[in-house]
Amino acid sequence: MGDKSKIEWCDATWNPVVGCSRISPGCDHCYASRMACRLAQIPTAPHQYREVVDQDNQAWNGRTEFVTSAMEQPFRWKRGRHIFVGSMTDLFHPSTPDEWLDRIFAVMALTARHRFLLLAKRPERMRDYMTQVTPQRLAHAATELQGEEAAKVVLAVLNDTLCGVRNVGWPMRHVWLGVTAEDQARADERIPILRDTPAVVRFVSFEPLLGQVDCRRFLVPLRREITPRGRENVVSPPGVNWAICGGESGPGARPMHPDWVRGLRGQCQDADVPFFFKSWGDWRPGLPNGQQKAVGITPNGGTYSHDAAEFFGETWPDNARCMARVGKKSAGRMLDGKTWDEVLEPNRSTTAKTWSAVRRKKCRAEMRADEETIAAGRTS
């Protein structure tokens, strides 16, 4: 957990819960489980990591743990950030109780200056939680965490009774919900559930991308209006508003056919949905240099051995492409000669442009005053 994340599509990570378990092929070489096993052996790391890993098998053990010490982190970050919540877990894992989620959502309600991004491989649980949770429940969680003043603020911002930049509404406008879909089967299974989940912004991470995916029927450009009071209203139907794509890195990393990436990019361009290409992972398109390992990968995921690279050269049968294992840093993030860093930003209407800087300053001052009041109540 920390600021200045190496994950290209966020600024920081926040891990109030750690622990997970395998659920689909994208989990086979999980980076988080490897990192958790290392952290479990570091005395200064949160002790919860030691409770959620199987060191003998270097894997998750299926448990999750709540990291109480992490709950203050979003308050400490005074500058607004894009925060990936739960990089060391699936936040909606079945072993994570609703009470933990309530506390996390209460903290997010109290820190509207940030943008929180939540990714799940278990969208059914996410949909159930978002359907059942209420502002009153989050206010109760805020009371337990930070006192009665915090509960009052939570209810106010969720009910849109304060000035524009402080309100978050319900579902919260600064909390984006997403799912991971590594192949067509997972896209067909998870995205419809995401679409049925109460949220303002929905996104999909196609990472690690393990096959060709057609998601055209799910892509919907986000259309927002900003009222004179500064409130953002979504006027587009539910759908996927942002797509992230990336290859696999680390031990056992699998190559990604370039046409899979181009296909997703083309679908997003046709739908006017932002496309973010995170990286190739450990494998880049092209012939190997020297002792580099290479394979040929076909559009359906089949592979040719390393020896075939010398035989076929640039032209492979079955529309296979030669992929050389060069490591993530060397493979880079270029797709067809450019980087694709498209991100989702609000539409700025004429009304929004005329919304005065004086009022924004006043709202930010009120927000800081609320946080100081809450902090005073917490320490008294």
d(CA 12, CA 1): 8
Given this model, what pLDDT does residue 232 score? 66
- Domain identity same for 231 and 305: no
Listed in sequence order, the residues at least 6 apart from 39 whose beta carbon sits closer than 8 Å to its beta carbon are 45, 46, 49
- Domain identity same for 268 and 298: no
- Domain identity same for 183 and 292: no
3-state SS, residue 245: strand
- Domain identity same for 372 and 314: no
Given this model, what pLDDT does residue 352 score? 33
pTM, entire model: 0.89
Contact status, residue 13 vs residue 101, Cβ threshold 8 Å = no
Q: What are phi and psi of 294, to 5 degrees?
A: -140, 150
Given this model, what pLDDT does residue 338 score? 96
- Domain identity same for 64 and 178: yes
- Domain identity same for 234 and 339: yes
- Domain identity same for 274 and 342: yes
- Domain identity same for 305 and 333: no
d(CA 47, CA 57): 19
d(CA 368, CA 57): 47
Taking only the tens of pLDDT, the chain with its 380 residues reads 567 788 999 999 999 999 999 999 999 999 999 999 999 999 999 999 999 999 999 999 999 999 999 999 999 999 999 999 999 999 999 999 999 999 999 999 999 999 999 999 999 999 999 999 999 999 999 999 999 999 999 999 998 877 556 678 899 999 999 999 999 999 999 999 999 999 999 999 999 999 999 999 999 999 877 766 666 677 788 999 999 999 999 999 999 999 999 999 999 999 999 999 999 999 999 888 878 888 889 999 988 876 655 556 656 777 888 899 999 999 999 999 999 999 987 543 322 333 334 444 555 556 566 666 666 665 55
Contact status, residue 88 vs residue 18, Cβ threshold 8 Å = yes
- Domain identity same for 35 and 69: yes
Total structural domains within the chain: 2
Given this model, what pLDDT does residue 267 score? 98
- Domain identity same for 272 and 294: no
Q: Which domain holds residue 299?
A: 286-326
- Domain identity same for 97 and 108: yes
H or E segment and range at residue 53: strand 53-54
How would DSSP label each residue in 105-171?
HHHHHH-TTSEEEEEES-HHHHHHHHHH--HHHHHHHHHHHH-HHHHHHHHHHHTT-S-GGG--TTT
Please state whether the peptide bond connecting residue 208 to the residue before it is cis, i.e. omega within 30 degrees of 0: yes
Contact status, residue 319 vs residue 331, Cβ threshold 8 Å = no
Matching residue, tokens 């390393």: 306
Given this model, what pLDDT does residue 305 score? 76
Count CB atoms within 10 A of the CB of residue 236: 11
Given this model, what pLDDT does residue 288 score? 84
Given this model, what pLDDT does residue 353 score? 33
- Domain identity same for 207 and 254: yes
162-191 core/surface letters (b: 16 or more CB in 10 A; e: else): bbbbbbbbbbbbbbbbbbbbbbeebbeebb
